Chains A and B, each alone.
Chain A
């Protein structure tokens, strides 16, 4: 204990902390912090409850539902994990493949639209862009009919192909603007050196657009990972359920068995939290790139 309190002469002058505290209070920031902290708590409250309840047995829940009770029942997580983890694997496969397809096709298409001149280019580009204006509700039922007639129902392709088709539109829109803003000299120099168009794309355009490709990829994964409706109507085989559908099903069979249910929600939230932890800079930058307004 003694060595925790430093010698007197090493303490900062007594007035300093109080003056910075005074500054803090008089700056008017304190009430903004207070308001923001209250908002944050409200925002997180349901998830804190989820975390607390996820460690409870039914008895612990009925005695004191919303405070931490001991012992913590980690076996809830084992029980929920057995159900939820296969769904997470399904989601990683389908969302990952779709994301790869969107980045691949989207960037190539955007590059063609940005770099080359050919007849009908503008018309074709606007034919892509207009799809941003077509709401999903118009095509939901007929898309189901198309996928059914192609015999894709209950296969992974029923999710992957339409997700690539829909996802590439936004990707092309974002990436074309980016490729147009890249200095032309770069490409001209490579062409004079005799590089083929595809190798210019692969060796110059792709490496220089890595961060924007990352932004496109993250938003695409967020979108498909959370898509509930499309898997609901195209996938009926439970073994092929993506996570969101699996959680929905899990909820209907575990309703009122709150402990494992909440543990399942926590497990289901973890993959995107991990993704976000590694890419938060990209994510925030992507949104901050001022161009997002009408």
Chain B
């Protein structure tokens, strides 16, 4: 009873109150009334301001200064950016990252699609589930373990790759120091994704295929579309949303690559695997040139951002 009384009282009051007073309530009043909600948002936004917004601002701000360790920041305008595009190492790093991203993106929207299609067409649900679990494996193994394993695979003396090449009789190939040869290192980096079904790509494509209604497939089989033709004309167009997602994610990830080259080659030999992200890392943490590093970060950010926007507009759904 004690609970009911004030509640019903409120109801009566709100019914009796003319609507005009609600409209007249000023913005300030509404903000004060909602103070409890703002209070609940404080932890989230405190963290965001300190660790996200402020660093993003600092990146832009810092890129127009010479921020070196032990020296006061001196305003230099666009000098960092001018230096960057004259810097031979940075220029080489752009070519490398484009090659790596192109390769990574193409493999990410082809191989896993095919594998997902194979799994999807299996009749047995249990077999489907089994392969699905298998394909998650690379996402569970710590990325660093995979990279360190590839370092071992490529090892010139004890590595698995050279031993296999020797075993199948390709002795002249089995001598290669894959990661230490400037002509091979970039290809070795690309190969370290083998067999290119890693991560969540297969699962996302599979989820897309499974959300296609069975009526569409029934209609297709009545029209005589099956096998490869059905794949091209029905399955592929209907999972274009998922393909686009993976495309965007691969480009974003590829352009920002740091860890792969850092662990496997340190950008070498002779900058043959240097990428902008790693160059930024080295400028900041090996040479203490925080301003120059920030400028590199800004350039990569602009590239990532504009490519993402381009992707979203060019491939936008008609419907």
Contact = CB atoms under 8 A, between A and B. Distances in A.
B101 to A, nearest CB: 13
Contacts of A112: 37, 40-41
A126 B213 CA distance: 33
Contacts of A65: 158, 163
Interface stretch (A7-15, A206-214, A285-293): A285-293
B39 to A, nearest CB: 10
Contacts of A283: 136
Residue from A40, A137, A269 whose CB has the most chain B CB atoms within 10 Å: A137
22 contacts: A43-B135, A47-B149, A50-B149, A105-B43, A135-B304, A136-B256, A138-B59, A138-B298, A142-B62, A144-B285, A146-B50, A146-B55, A164-B47, A165-B52, A169-B48, A222-B140, A226-B142, A251-B151, A258-B152, A280-B133, A288-B206, A293-B208
B115 A165 contact: no
B118 A119 contact: no
A228 B264 CA distance: 13
Contacts of B30: 118-119
Interface string A139-156: 111111110001000000
Contacts of B281: 140, 229, 233
Interface in A1-40: 27, 29, 32-33, 35-36, 39-40
B318 to A, nearest CB: 14
B137 A36 contact: no
B290 interface: yes
Contacts of A287: 200, 203-204, 207
Nearest to B298: A138
Contact of B258 (A124, A137, A222, A288): A137
Nearest to B49: A165
A109 B51 contact: no
Interface string B252-291: 1001101100110000000000000100110011000010
Interface stretch (A74-82, A178-186, A241-249): A241-249
Contacts of A169: 48, 52
Please classify how large the interface on chain A is, using the bins under 10, 10 to 19, 20 to 34, 35 or more. 35 or more
Nearest to A233: B285
Interface string A120-131: 100010011001
Contacts of B153: 46
Given A36-B115, A40-B134, A131 B48 contact: yes
Nearest to A192: B7
A132 to B, nearest CB: 10
B54 interface: yes
Interface in A238-294: 243-244, 247-248, 251, 256, 258, 265, 268-269, 272-273, 276, 280, 283-284, 287-290, 292-294
B260 to A, nearest CB: 10
Contacts of A120: 31
Given A119-B27, A269-B142, A139 B195 contact: no
B16 interface: no
B222 interface: no
Given A145-B58, A161-B47, A229 B204 contact: no
Contacts of A222: 139-140
A42 B194 CA distance: 8
A127 B56 CA distance: 13
Interface string B134-176: 1111111111111011111100001010010000000000000
B34 interface: yes
B38 interface: yes
Contact of A124 (B41, B144, B148, B280): B41
Nearest to A143: B55
Contact of B118 (A35, A109, A258): A35
